Amino acid sequence: MTRRLFLSTIPAALAAGAPRPNVIWIWADNLAYGDLACYGNGAVKTPAIDRLAAEGVRFSQFYVAHTVCSPSRAALLTGRQPFRTGIVDVLRPDSPVGLPESEVTIAAALGKAGYRTQAIGKWHLGDRRQYLPTERGFDQYFGLPYSMDMAPTLLYRDQKIVENMEGARVETYTRRLTDEAVRFLEGTAKRPFFLYFSHTLPHPPLNLPPDARSPGRPVYDDAIEHLDIEVGRLLEAVDRLGLRENTLVVFSSDNGPMHAGGKTGGFRGRIRDAYEGGLRVPFAARWPGRIPAGRVVDEPAIMYDVFPTLMKLCGGTVPQDRTYDGQDIWPLLSGEGGVRREKPFVWVYTDNVTTVRDGRWKLHLAHRDKPLPEPELYDLETDSGEARNVAGARVAELRRLKEIAVRAQAEVPKAWPLYYPVLDPKKLPSGPRRQ
């Protein structure tokens, strides 16, 4: 495969001969925009993630590329719109499909650049052997290949099932993931590393150890605080091992909330919705000496921007034989400047363009898989809650965004439904386990 540098310039840190950064990417599963204290939640304490944001940068308009987790994760790891990868909806246990071998993940690209790579936690891009993380660029894997609500709860190490978790073993799962991550950091030696750490919290069911529960308190709030404690344990290990100064740590979420306790910060919509509550997620990043502390970025960015950004920072390459949808957002992270968008943000549900954002304007043409009776146009600068449809008053903007949607739709291939039986009696027909 022919490969080239994504950008013609080498970042200052590399040009000066400084070591390439380690990268730790921390996912939360279905964490809502307003679930953290640093994003306005007054019901919880999240000191570890708050500190991460305070010591680096926090984005107020960071978007996922899809409203559900499998496509969202595919977009992050490949830097491409989900429909380009063939991952257009949630993958279920026993699905015969997964992230194609032809896709180049962040892990694969950084592995070629000399990085050690490990995936920990939820994968959800195919649970058959040929789709597991160790077949997609990761040197090691420890975790579940799908969501916590899906049966059976099989814990993998690399390509081997090591446990069918039940009872208390499920309750301690989050802590065990952190333990595994710390062991990985302790064994990094002198090579740079990419750690992809994907929690299952706060995706239901919320299996917490007894000492993480507070009587009379919503379990969701306890889950957020338990997640924060485990993030704190990981960050403490980074400091203890002397990795802090040369490690880029990023924390984010894969889509809006599924649990009723999820707080969208006043935004409309939840998981599977292309309104802001389903798409806008927390995003905080820290790299001491490279990312100035205490900054809040209000400029929009999206999940498939991460791939080209990391390739620039880490000296990686990307293929030149396919379309990439993101842009390098290092200027936003570092405070060096803004980003002039080459493409509007476009969201596709299965195989239909439903939503477009360009600048301050956001157009909705469909809700999930159902076309809207009339288009909805919102001015996000004055109406981030998407409460006032101004399509009738902004005819020129409506026409312009509809034209963008038409051009984008021409790139989207037909997605045929995939039918296969769910034979396990412990599962609901849709895949999750029976409660």
The verdict on whether 124 is a catalytic residue reads yes
Asked if residues 333 and 314 have their Cβ atoms less than 8 Å apart, the reply is: no
Tokens at 188, concatenated? 């990094």
Where is 219: in which H helix or E strand?
A: helix 219-240
d(Cα 357, Cα 360) in Å, to the nearest integer? 7
The verdict on whether 367 is a catalytic residue reads no
Tokens at 235, concatenated? 């960050």
Please identify which of the residues 124, 226, 259, 364 carries the catalytic annotation.
124
Beta bridge mates, 281: 62
- In 3D, which of 57, 11, 38 has the Cα closest to residue 332? 57
Please identify which of the residues 69, 226, 259, 364 carries the catalytic annotation.
69
d(Cα 75, Cα 288) in Å, to the nearest integer? 27
d(Cα 434, Cα 427) in Å, to the nearest integer? 5
Instruction: Please list the helix, strand and coil fractions of the chain in percent, rounded to the nearest 5, in that order.
Output: 30, 20, 50
- In 3D, which of 110, 58, 33 has the Cα closest to residue 278? 33
Burial class (CB in 10 A: 0-12, 13-18, 19+), 9: exposed
How many CA atoms are closer than 13 Å to the CA of 69, on its beta-carbon side?
27
Q: Annotated catalytic sites, by residue?
A: 69, 124
